[in-house]
Amino acid sequence: MRGKLFISALSKYLAGLLLCLLLIFAPAGTLHYPQGWLLLAVLFVPMLILGAVLLVKAPQLLEKRLRAKEERGAQRQAVGKSALMFVGGFLLASLNFRLGWPLLPFGVSLAASAVFLLGYLMYAEVLRENAWLSRSVEVQAGQ
């Protein structure tokens, strides 16, 4: 079971990484985009660490977190809209860099990254404390 879960998690991780690489660097027109690399690191390094910890300590929770398909129409719409905002934000930031529009100072990007990582730590703590966590409200077997 863990082997199959590992392959599933790794394939989703790599697909997400590839998608973000394309969304960040293709519109930027270059790989020399420091804030783009910072964003990738802030998003994907903690995700890899958390995924590895969940694979070892709570594989059922990892499996549940990997199930991305929403069954309820309203929830599916909310996820779809958030995906559009996600893609739009990446594209806009990358085009901003490419077109030479005003950029945030790198120090501001670092500070924002620190705040994001703090939020990610809180999310990891919620996962540790609440094995029943899911993206939508649901009663689960054994809860």
Residue 55 placed within a domain: yes
- Residues 115-126 pLDDT 10s: 999 999 999 898
Q: Would you say residue 128 has pLDDT above 90?
A: no
CA nearest to 92, candidates 23, 34, 2, 39? 23
Q: Which residue has the higher pLDDT, 134 or 19?
A: 19
What single-letter DSSP state applies at residue 141?
Answer: T
Phi, psi angles (nearest 5°) of residue 133:
-55, 130
Residue 134 placed within a domain: no
CA nearest to 57, candidates 117, 138, 129? 129
pLDDT value of position 140: 64
Number of domains in the chain: 1
pTM: 0.85
Q: What is the mean pLDDT of the segment spanning 93-104?
A: 94
Residue 85 placed within a domain: yes
Range of the domain at 79: 2-68+75-96+103-127
